[in-house]
Amino acid sequence: MLATIFTLMTDAGAYYAFSVSDFVGRSIVIALLVGSVLAWSIMIEKGLSVNKAKKESEKFLKLFRNGQPIVTYIKESDKSSSPLARIYEAGAEKLLEFYNLPPEQILLAREAPKVKLTGAQMDALRTVLEGEVSDQLLILEEKIGLLATAVSASPLCGLFGTVWGIMYAFCSLAIQGKADIAALAPGIAGALLTTVVGLVVAIPSLLGYNMLTLLIRSVTVYMDNFVEEFMSRLKLEQLD
134 vs 184 pLDDT, higher one: 134
Residues 67, 71: Cα–Cα separation, whole Å: 11
What does pLDDT average to over the chain? 83
pLDDT category at 84 given cuts 50, 70, 90 is: very high
Q: CB-hemisphere CA count at 13 Å for 34?
A: 7
Of the chain, the percentage scoring pLDDT greater than 90 comes to 38
- As a three-state string, the secondary structure of 162-211 is HHHHHHHHHHHHHHHCCCCHHHHHHHHHHHHHHHHHHHHHHHHHHHHHHH
| Mean pLDDT of the 216-235 span | 92
Q: Parse the chain into domains and list their residue ranges.
A: 2-239
Q: Is the pLDDT reported for residue 105 higher than 70? A: no
Residues 205, 39: Cα–Cα separation, whole Å: 6
Task: Determine contact, residues 91/85, Cβ cutoff 8 Å.
Answer: no
Residues 36, 30: Cα–Cα separation, whole Å: 10
* 174-209 pLDDT tens trace: 776 666 666 677 778 778 888 888 998 999 999 999
Nearest to 53 by CA among 160, 184, 141: 141
Burial (0-12, 13-18, 19+ Cβ within 10 Å), 222: buried
Nearest to 148 by CA among 220, 48, 43, 218: 43
Helix, strand, coil percent content, the chain, rounded in steps of 5: 85, 0, 15
Nearest to 143 by CA among 216, 224, 86: 216
* 136-176 pLDDT tens trace: 999 999 989 889 988 899 999 988 888 888 887 777 777 76
